Amino acid sequence: MSFDELGLATALVRTVREQGYTTPTPIQQQAIPAILAGGDVLASAQTGTGKTAGFTLPILDRLSRAHSPGGTRPVRALILTPTRELAAQVEASTRTYGKGLPLKSMTLFGGVGMQPQIQTLRRGVDILVATPGRLLDHLGRGTVDLSRVETLVLDEADRMLDMGFIRDIRRVISSLPNERQTLLFSATFSNEIRNLAQDLLRSPTRIDVARRNTAAEAVTQIVHPVNRTGKQALLSSLIRNGDWQQVLVFTRTKHGADRLAKQLDRDGVTATAIHGNKSQGARTTALSRFHKGGVRVLVATDIAARGLDIDQLPHVVNYELPHVPEDYVHRIGRTGRAGHGGQAVSLVCVDEQGQLAGIERLLNRSITKQTVAGHEPDLAERPEPATKGRSGRSNRGGGARRGHPGGGRGGQSRSGQGSPGRRGQGPRGGYSARAKSKAA
């Protein structure tokens, strides 16, 4: 199948070809016609399989066909993402594929001034890509109007639930028209996502192009057992001896990311860190240096990692395993994208055996273990409670229970909040939009 056969406008097909794409991915083959037909969609696919184009292309098509030149320019499509980086990536896709179309798009996220955003909104925007916190800031000030939104997209919906955005999403939905198209896209299909879909979507087209919660087949996965205090030395050795030139490394905490980047620099391995405490300017600079080869290693936390779209990234390292097994799938999905191969390496100490077991249960497979000479683990080392990370509590048993993430959103938990009401129902309970926008 080619893009010509999906029903997209000729101008969009031409732009896609100019970007070097001729054959749609499986998620695009199924999602694009369904979205063009106007129905709701619940879609899941492995990371790196083209989900973003799967919804931006048909949205651009539908909006451009119904575009009225002149007059006001209301927000007609709203795309919610959990992080600034993902918002920037999605908006960049709308600009790339929408080149030549009479449509305008913008991002709306925290970490930057509100006044320039207000000025852009006043000039009119067709497609708004936003993080929930900053969007609610604007709604509270009356600087954005969502009453004419035709399509709502929740991108990485599972991640937004994990980060405690459920109440924010509910408040945003209360500002939208009851009659609209709603699209849920995610790399994993948790039970919470299916429950959310029942409340938000009407007779959705269900798309699941890969087995639930699977890792990309192009990614080679390996575990290196190591002592608790031997990880940094092992990582430096792997990078130097393997001549790795571009490595994305995951830690559980912001402090841990900063500390590891400094340690690698002292070891002669250029590195920089990216996490939620960094300003938007610092995050953008760090990512740009990594893209351009200015540093070999980018150390990131999970909250900053969504939306890091790096072409042909060869190596991803789990310096610390995540508490939530599904996050492992998202992490290693940063490599092996668009059909390219990649390697995912996990440095696992005795404290993380529970997390590793949880990941292997999720994947329904055992990951190859390989001890590196000179970095053998001490078999007498006893486990200690794992460091508190995004889950907001220590964990030795293979992952915090999903639905109780706590931590990064002001300690907020999804426990007891329920799901967003059906269309037209308002939110329950109070909240501080300003406090939340800072985390986005």
CATH architecture under which domain 219-369 falls:
3-Layer(aba) Sandwich (3.40)
Q: Give the pairing type, strands 247-250 and 315-318.
A: parallel
Tell me the average pLDDT of the chain. Answer: 82
Question: Could you please report the per-residue DSSP string of 14-32?
Answer: HHHHHTT--S--HHHHHHH
Helices and strands (H, E) in the chain, number of each type: 16, 14
Cα 44 from Cα 7, distance rounded (Å) = 21
- Residue 224 pLDDT: 97
> What's the pLDDT tens digit per position in 24-82?
988 999 999 999 999 999 998 666 678 899 999 999 999 998 876 666 789 999 999 98
Contacts of 428 (CB under 8 A, 6+ apart): 170, 418, 421
Q: List, for residues 163-196, the tens digit of each pLDDT value.
A: 788 889 989 999 999 999 999 987 777 777 778 8
HEC per residue, 111-159: CCCHHHHHHHHHHCCCEEEECHHHHHHHHHHCCCCCCCCCEEEEECHHH
Residue 276 and residue 303 in contact, taking contact as beta carbons nearer than 8 Å:
yes
The CATH superfamily of 3-208 is P-loop containing nucleotide triphosphate hydrolases (3.40.50.300)
Instruction: Tell me the three state secondary structure of residue 166.
Output: helix
Separation between Cα atoms, residue 282 and residue 288, nearest integer Å: 10
Q: What is the pLDDT of residues 295-352, one digit of tens each?
A: 999 999 886 555 566 667 889 999 999 988 878 887 887 776 655 678 999 999 999 9
What pTM was computed for the model? 0.63
Considering the chain, tell me which residue range(s) the CATH 3.40.50.300 domain(s) occupy.
Answer: 3-208, 219-369
Are 97 and 53 spatial neighbours (Cβ–Cβ below 8 Å)?
Answer: yes
The DSSP line for 375-395 is ----TTPPP-PPPP-TTSS--
pLDDT in tens, 265-306: 999 999 999 887 887 788 888 888 888 889 999 999 886 555
CA-CA distance, 391 to 403, in Å (whole number)? 10
The pLDDT tens digits of the residues spanning 343-391 come to 999 999 999 999 999 999 988 889 999 999 999 999 888 888 765 444 3
Angle between helices 166-173 and 132-141 (to 10 degrees): 40
